[in-house]
Amino acid sequence: MKTTKTLIAAAALACTFAIAPAAFAVDEYNVSKGTTVDGQGVAFRGNDLVAMANGSGIVPGQAEHTHVHDGVAYYFASEAAMKQFAATPDNFMPQYGGYCALGVALGKKLDGSPRFADIVDGKLYVFLNATVFKAYKKDKAGILAKAAKNWPGIHHISVSQVNGLGS
């Protein structure tokens, strides 16, 4: 009887991992520590990516206008913005999962803030803080090239491993 219960528990656990792989992604997106009611982390600190891409700057999103993409929740200021994102998310997604582009250039996954963002060739890049953003501005092309080269090697690795913080 005990063996049967163990097998059932193991099967249930295996099914959980098989059914919800996005929920167990290894830090592929920079999300806030809080989650939605359904359990997804909230990206871009809850701000509207469409507004940012359209040049409106930082516009707080609303939970009532949530779209989940790749297991991550994105908030929008309006239903129209949410629908625009849902139709073509890759047009709005921050590069490197929303991690700091300069950090990625250095082989790290650092927080990225919408307050320190740049759009280059239609792509959104975010940065840790004003000091890091200022450093990036001195060599945009070089830093973005290094980040593009480094991202594939750290994309699927946890923040703690990439940043040398243990397991």
pLDDT in tens, the chain (167 residues): 555 443 333 333 333 333 333 333 457 888 876 667 777 889 999 999 999 999 999 999 999 999 999 999 999 999 999 999 999 999 999 999 999 999 999 999 999 999 999 999 999 999 999 999 999 999 999 999 999 999 999 999 999 999 998 75
Output the CA–CA distances (angstroms, integers) from residue 145 to 25, 58, 63, 142, 156, in the order listed: 25, 26, 35, 5, 19
Q: What is the pLDDT of residue 2?
A: 53
CA separation for the pair 19, 133 (Å, rounded): 39
Strand partners, 100: 126
Identify residue 26 by its one-letter amino acid code. V
Torsion angle, alpha carbons of 110, 69, 17, 29, to 10: 0
What pTM was computed for the model? 0.81
Of 94, 114, 96, 115, nearest to 104 by C-alpha is 96
Q: What is the pLDDT of residue 52?
A: 94
Output the CA–CA distances (angstroms, integers) from residue 126 to 99, 111, 147, in the order listed: 7, 9, 12
